[in-house]
């Protein structure tokens, strides 16, 4: 395994690369870091060269002190790892960043596997989407009360309890622990990371790379509605639901997730997903 700190303007990014074969780059969820991919890297690195990194303000990467472009950070990691073109696999906020990078640098992306992508508010929401966002806002309000009244541990337990509804006990402890380890990001008033302008959620139709849209059947309704939007608006997509999975199907439904990712990355040994 190769570990390195990648220099970027006004900071650095912690990156790991392991294995040999076609390049796959993993982008983690918000309030987590590259350790959420450990079990995925174990099998994926046997047939691919896998690069994962910590976003600014998370994991071992530096804290942001000035505005920066998220897609430029991804490009810097690819350059440092010697990756010319890769399959990008992102989960939650990492999926949003992967799609934005594919929009900005399509020649560097073979495919995007967008897992439980989150984009916030819906532009011109349907009644179902508006109802799903109200559910999300209720969850966020409850978390705010917990954070103020009982602290970060109660916040993390409640948050992962909803996002990770299908996680086993050990996987749940891992995601709670990662939230606590990345508490600095949770308490930031706002991120200094800049997305595309306009944001990628308003530009799905402009994407030119193939996208596999993966969503867990036990994820928030808001995430599932965003998955449908992405699959309907982006030109070359497939929508793959993991019925027993939640927001983190690599942990809650690992066998199904492995089959999906092997097929998407063209790694062989594919067993059809039930």
Assign 12 to helix, strand or coil: strand
Q: Are 51 and 15 in contact (CB under 8 A)?
A: yes
Among 208, 245, 271, 255, smallest CA distance to 115 is for 245
Phi, psi of 14 (to 5 degrees): -85, 130
Residue 270 lies in a domain: no
Residue 25 bridge partners (DSSP): 51, 88
Residue 273 lies in a domain: no
- How far apart CA 257 and CA 249 sit, in angstroms, is 6
What averages of pLDDT result for each successive group of 10 residues across the chain (274 residues)? 97 98 97 97 97 98 97 98 98 98 98 97 96 96 94 96 97 98 89 96 97 97 98 94 97 97 80 40
Instruction: Return the CATH number at 113.
Output: 3.40.50.1820
Residue 46 lies in a domain: yes
Residue 22 lies in a domain: yes
How many separate domains does the chain show?
1
Residue 271 lies in a domain: no
| pLDDT given at position 271 | 42
| pLDDT given at position 270 | 44
Peptide bond into 198 cis (omega under 30): yes
Q: Are 37 and 17 in contact (CB under 8 A)?
A: no
Residue 172 bridge partners (DSSP): none
Residue 126 lies in a domain: yes
| pLDDT given at position 273 | 39
Residue 244 lies in a domain: yes
Spatial neighbors of 247 by CB under 8 A, at least 6 apart, are: 29, 91, 92, 116, 163, 164, 216, 219, 220, 223
Residue 274 lies in a domain: no
| pLDDT given at position 1 | 94
| pLDDT given at position 200 | 98
| pLDDT given at position 269 | 56
Q: Which domain holds residue 24?
A: 2-265
- Please state the separation of Cα 119 from the chain's center in Å: 11
DSSP output for 69-133: EHHHHHHHHHHHHT-SSEEEEEETHHHHHHHHHHHH-GGGEEEEEEES---SSPSS--HHHHHHH
């Amino acid at each position: 395994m190769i570990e390195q700190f990648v220099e970027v303007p006004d900071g650095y990014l912690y990156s790991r690369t392991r294995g040999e074969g076609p390049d796959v780059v993993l982008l983690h969820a918000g309030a987590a870091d590259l350790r959420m991919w450990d079990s995925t890297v174990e099998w994926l690195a046997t047939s691919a060269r896998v690069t994962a990194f910590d976003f600014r303000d998370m994991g071992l990467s530096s804290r942001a002190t000035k505005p920066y472009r998220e897609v430029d950070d991804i490009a810097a990691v690819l350059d440092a790892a010697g990756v010319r073109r890769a399959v990008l696999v992102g989960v939650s906020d990492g999926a949003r960043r992967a799609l934005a990078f594919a929009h900005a640098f399509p020649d560097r992306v073979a495919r995007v596997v967008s897992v439980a992508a989150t984009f916030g508010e819906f532009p011109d929401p349907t009644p179902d989407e508006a109802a799903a966002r109200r559910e999300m806002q209720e969850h966020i309000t409850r978390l705010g009360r917990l954070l103020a009244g009982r602290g970060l541990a109660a916040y993390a337990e409640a948050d992962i309890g909803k996002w990770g509804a299908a996680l086993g006990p050990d996987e749940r402890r891992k995601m709670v622990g990662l939230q606590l380890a990345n508490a600095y990001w949770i308490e930031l008033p706002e991120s200094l990371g800049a997305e595309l302008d306009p944001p990628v959620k308003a530009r799905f139709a402009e994407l030119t790379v193939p996208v596999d849209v993966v969503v867990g059947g036990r994820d928030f309704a808001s995430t599932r509605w965003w998955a449908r939007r992405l699959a309907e608006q982006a030109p070359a997509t497939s929508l793959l639901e993991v019925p027993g999975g939640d927001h983190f199907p690599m942990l809650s439904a690992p066998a199904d997730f492995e089959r999906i990712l092997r097929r998407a990355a063209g790694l062989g040994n594919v067993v059809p997903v039930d």
